[in-house]
Structure 1
Amino acid sequence: MQRALFYDRVPSLAAPLRFFLSAPFFALIAAILLLWQGPEALASRWTPSALALTHLLTLGFLAMTMIGALIQILPVAANIVIPKANLTATAVHGLLIAGTVLLSIAFSLMLPALFELALLFLVSAFAWLLTACAIGLWQVCRSGAAATVMGIQMALVALFLTVALGATLLGALAWRTPLSLTFLTELHVLWGLLGWVGLLVMSVAYQVIPMFQVTDIYPRCISRWLAPALFLMLLLWSITTVLLPDSAYGTRKIASTLILASYSAFAIVTIYRLWHRKRPKAEATTLFWYTAMTSLLTCLVIWSVQSLNIKSVDHTDFSLTLGIVFIVGFAYSAINGMLYKIVPFLIWYHLQHTPAAKLRIAPKIAKIIPDTAAQKQFRAHLIALLLLVAATIWPAVFARPAALAFGISSCWLWINLLRASHLYASIKRKTSLPVVTA
């Protein structure tokens, strides 16, 4: 059953919380960089600033929160014990922060020496994480959420491929190796966004949407077969692109169509589940999920239009728009919404195992981050998303307003999470116990 949880496996609060509290900082830095660079940053997907912005979001926000979620979800939802979870969390967190900062500076300044350092830290971070997860998966007893476990396994394989391709690209930039950077970048983006990010968000949704939104579980045909089908299509697309770049257009077209169909099915089923949820009132998290799924469907439309227009000589390139809608609209929105459920639940759960529960000073989950505060941040996020999309089309007009709006939204999220963390710390102090901080 997808809702079978193993609460005796819960890691310390500090293990995932440090990742959740760090992520909005990188989103804020991305907003500041866009505000500083302005329209020039969005002139092309290949500008140094655009590359820095992309990795501040994909590594600094998406990967940061997704790793924190993995450290929490693997033991609880899948009965997978990560060896030395606290040490792993501390090491991976520190290495990921250092690597992300170095990489964003390296892209901004195009300094080969910084690419070398970023490569060292990032490869170390992901190698440690993947090794720890592999050990946990190897030792796992086949219990818990089978669909979630399978999806996470495939997402981790996609992460491995993403890191391998990214390391190759960084090596080429650091040591001026004559490689086809465009070709490798396309594969890196494919496995990073549609593989690692997409598969993990999908797999986690199977668990958290029924749990927190009080919906029916996903149909078995979706939860059991969608992730494997997607993974196989990504693999087919990659193999034919590498081995038969000029003669397998039809196969790649079929694979692309099936990838589109798979993500469309996930988005439509999720929207249907949310629409028929058992809680009548739409919370902030519900609105974030609606935004994420609508953005995912929009991505599929943009991708289809881009594929049709690519053959014309004077076609319009929607790559930047597609990237913003997927990264900020789909992935960021889904993660932002999940944080408003996961963080309060974790804080509440850990307080239940302290004298705070007996003293009845532990707040209810809904009071840890009030929905009114989350709703306000959602509105700021939605405005920022719309302005960012507009900025990819009219950068001279919307780039800096979009940066300002995104910075406000990110800072608002950060403040909401910090307040929850400080609430936990203050209650721990009242009970005269050691304070767990992130």
Structure 2
Amino acid sequence: MRRALSPERSPALSVPFRFFLNAPLFALLAAGLLVWEGPGALASRWSPVSLALTHLFTLGILTSAMAGALMQILPVATGVRVAAAHASAVVVHTLLTAGTLALSAAFMVGAPALYAIALLLLAAALTWFLAACALGFWRYRHAERTGTADVLGASRLALVALLVTIAIGLLLACAQAFGIPLPIIALTNLHAVWGLSGWVGLLTIGMAYQLIPMFVVTQPYPRVFAVGLAPSVFALLALISFATARVPRVELPLGALLLVAYTAFAVVTLRLLWTRKRPSADVTTLFWRTAMLCLTACGPLWAIHIETGNPACAVTLGVVLLFGVAWSLVNGMLYKIVPFLLWYHAQRSLTGAAMRFAPKVKDMIPERAASMQFWAHLAALALLLAASLRPMLFARASGLAAGVSAAWLGLNILGAIRIYLSVSRKACATQIRAS
């Protein structure tokens, strides 16, 4: 098994939680937008509402959740602390949230001024985040814990991929804001590939190496596989970018190899999840199984899209990637990290007689409540897949279902926070009486 975490190295609770809370809030906003717009939102991946929905997911949900997870997991798992964690969290969260809203509004109304505002806000947020992470890696380069090379390697490559994603996104925003002539479709495809397969995908790989064996109680990932996968994915992304610019005929074979790499990750992860040491599957295991099954479906869907050129296939692939894979992963991650952090910080606040108020980790979010939200998530996924093929029939129903699932997740998290605050108040009152 991978070595134990060092939770005493955790940053303040507010550092990751401000990012984690963005996830259900932006999911609710995206669901509301889908209900409001209806079928037009899923008519094409290039429609303004579709682009707004995509960036509500990729920035408001995924980047927020990934940033919070990175700022929390790096210090406790590897010994690396993000520089000025509290200040960085406040600044990055504020700018990222405002920038995401501005960019989504810009897509909706097509105002060049909004693109410019979004460009400035997002560039500032993500540049600060990258700088804080890079400074942390440099400062703690001699404090990195042994046995974490795979986690650190994947995390570093994910941050480089984020930098590339930002650069391409800024070019696209400049093209919209200032009318600069650029190859929009090619750049948009590269932006999506670097963002999803690079930033989100590589960081998911790195986090999985730590979280799956530790929290889901599985065997570690095979050593050779863990060391080689992230560099291979990054190399393929670089080659795809070069091929797009110089050798377009090899772009599709390289894309197929990238899908093979991620399918291999999904298959290995599914094997670990199915052979885990605990007999019953908890909700995190269910979410990760769902995500990995969806990931294995991406290859065939991509091949069908390439073969047929059907725009509906592109929308279906987007639903599977964003909702089926990425959003499922975030849900599963939150159901492990949030209860554990609240439990740990509650324990730290208790001394003496107040220890009787100590909750258990499993009490923070009851398994039944989490399981019911999982089934709501599955229903939303099924309706979204149907809506990608028949938007007139299912678009608004899928938005309602996605909103119910997101609200349920948010309420479960808020319930855990209420337990934490209640324990803290009782501990404070006990200490006052004792003094």
TM-score tier, shorter chain, comes to: over 0.9
Give 1:156-167 correspondences, 5 Å limit.
Answer: 156-167=159-170
Q: Cα distance, 1:253 vs. partner? A: 3.5
* SS of match in other structure, 2:46: coil
Cα-to-partner distance string for 1:58-97 (whole Å, 9 max, x where unaligned)? 1111111110001101111121111110111111111111
Does the 8 Å CA contact 1:2/1:146 hold for their aligned counterparts?
A: no
Does the 8 Å CA contact 1:356/1:362 hold for their aligned counterparts?
A: no
Aligned to 2:298: 299
Q: Cα distance, 1:360 vs. partner? A: 2.2
Q: Cα distance, 1:356 vs. partner? A: 5.7
Partners of 1:188 and 1:275 lie apart in 2 by 34
Matched residue count: 425
Aligned to 1:240: 243
Aligned to 1:413: 409
Partners of 2:40 and 2:161 lie apart in 1 by 32
Q: Does 1:350 align with 2:345?
A: yes
Does the 8 Å CA contact 2:130/2:159 hold for their aligned counterparts?
A: yes
Q: Cα distance, 1:316 vs. partner? A: 5.5
Identical-pair percentage: 50
Cα-to-partner distance string for 1:26-50 (whole Å, 9 max, x where unaligned)? 1000000010000011111111110
Aligned to 2:99: 99
Does the 8 Å CA contact 1:103/1:118 hold for their aligned counterparts?
A: yes
Given residue 382 of structure 2, which amino acid in structure 1 is its aligned partner? Answer: L
Q: Does 1:21 align with 2:21?
A: yes
Q: 1:122 and 1:23, CA in 2 relative to 1: closer, same or farther beyond 3 A?
A: same
Give 1:78-97 correspondences, 5 Å limit.
Answer: 78-97=78-97
> TM-score, normalized by length of structure 2?
0.95
Q: Cα distance, 1:317 vs. partner? A: 4.6
Partners of 1:363 and 1:351 lie apart in 2 by 8
The partner residue of 1:327 within 319, 322, 337 is 322
Does the 8 Å CA contact 1:5/1:77 hold for their aligned counterparts?
A: yes
Partners of 2:350 and 2:340 lie apart in 1 by 18
Cα-to-partner distance string for 1:361-396 (whole Å, 9 max, x where unaligned)? 121000100110000000000000110111110000
Q: Cα distance, 1:307 vs. partner? A: 2.4
Q: Does 1:191 align with 2:194?
A: yes
Aligned to 2:217: 214
Which consecutive residues of structure 1, in runs of 5 or more, have no partner in the other structure? 434-438
Give 1:286-435 correspondences, 5 Å limit.
Answer: 286-310=285-309, 315=310, 317-355=312-350, 358-432=354-428
Partners of 1:252 and 1:157 lie apart in 2 by 21
Does the 8 Å CA contact 1:112/1:173 hold for their aligned counterparts?
A: yes
Partners of 1:215 and 1:223 lie apart in 2 by 15
Aligned to 1:436: none
Aligned to 2:432: none
Q: Cα distance, 1:143 vs. partner? A: 2.1
> TM-score, normalized by length of structure 1?
0.94
Q: Which runs of 4+ in 1 moved over 6 A?
A: none
Partners of 1:205 and 1:356 lie apart in 2 by 34
Aligned to 2:128: 128
Q: Cα distance, 1:244 vs. partner? A: 2.8
CA-based RMSD: 1.4
Cα-to-partner distance string for 1:259-305 (whole Å, 9 max, x where unaligned)? 12111111011111010111111111111011000110111110122
Partners of 1:7 and 1:402 lie apart in 2 by 39
Partners of 1:424 and 1:105 lie apart in 2 by 36
Q: Cα distance, 1:252 vs. partner? A: 2.6
Q: Cα distance, 1:126 vs. partner? A: 0.2
Partners of 1:420 and 1:359 lie apart in 2 by 18
Q: Cα distance, 1:431 vs. partner? A: 1.8
Cα-to-partner distance string for 1:182-240 (whole Å, 9 max, x where unaligned)? 11101100100111111111111111111111100010122110111111011111112
Q: Cα distance, 1:4 vs. partner? A: 4.4
Does the 8 Å CA contact 1:26/1:61 hold for their aligned counterparts?
A: yes
Does the 8 Å CA contact 2:350/2:358 hold for their aligned counterparts?
A: no
Partners of 1:335 and 1:317 lie apart in 2 by 25
Q: Bigger CA drift: 26-35 or 236-245?
A: 236-245
Which consecutive residues of structure 2, in runs of 5 or more, have no partner in the other structure? 430-435
Cα-to-partner distance string for 1:346-370 (whole Å, 9 max, x where unaligned)? 1111122112685221210001001
Partners of 1:116 and 1:158 lie apart in 2 by 23
Given residue 314 of structure 2, which amino acid in structure 1 is its aligned partner? Answer: S
* SS of match in other structure, 1:355: coil
Q: 1:268 and 1:150, CA in 2 relative to 1: closer, same or farther beyond 3 A?
A: same
Q: Cα distance, 1:241 vs. partner? A: 1.1
